[in-house]
Homo-oligomer: A and B are copies of this chain.
Amino acid sequence: MALVTESEIVLRYAETDRMGVAYHANYLVWMEVGRTDYLARLGFPYSSLEAAGVMFPTCDASFRLYKPSYYEERLRIETRLEKLRSRKVVFGYRVMRSGELVVSGRTEHICVNAKLRVQKIPVPLFEALGRALDNRK
């Protein structure tokens, strides 16, 4: 089984819209929060990766809404790696509210350098991601 990290957020007023629920674009922001925690947990904080010229723009994404979510609710974001290629990663997410699925999603990221040119994922990171995918110790 793959490694799953958990992140917690409290839904901000700024994230609501006039329907009274979370505005949907924020699901992508929450997934990014999950991804940040996931990479930090692997020992590769994304801010350090970027400083080293390794960036992962989101080139493809999707989500599905199951339940509306509301201001001040505490949500848990589960993040896991779903696919690993030499130049690409795919993450999957589940946003949960006390055991109930609120949003599921998926983001695909291409590895680029500081000039936004495609590059191979550096070996140490690739290996760490590989271990997380298999969750081998």
B-binding residues in A (CB < 8 A)? 10, 12-14, 16-21, 23-26, 28-29, 32-33, 36, 40, 45-47, 50, 55, 57-65, 68, 70-72, 116
Contact = CB atoms under 8 A, between A and B. Distances in A.
A16 B18 contact: yes
Q: Lowest 9 CB-CB distances: which A-B pairs, in order? A: A62-B62, A16-B18, A25-B28, A24-B58, A47-B72, A25-B25, A14-B29, A59-B65, A18-B20
A62 B61 contact: yes
Contacts of A59: 64-65
Nearest to A55: B19
A71 B57 contact: no
Given A14-B17, A19-B116, A59-B64, 8 more contacts: A14-B25, A21-B116, A25-B29, A25-B32, A28-B28, A50-B71, A60-B65, A68-B116
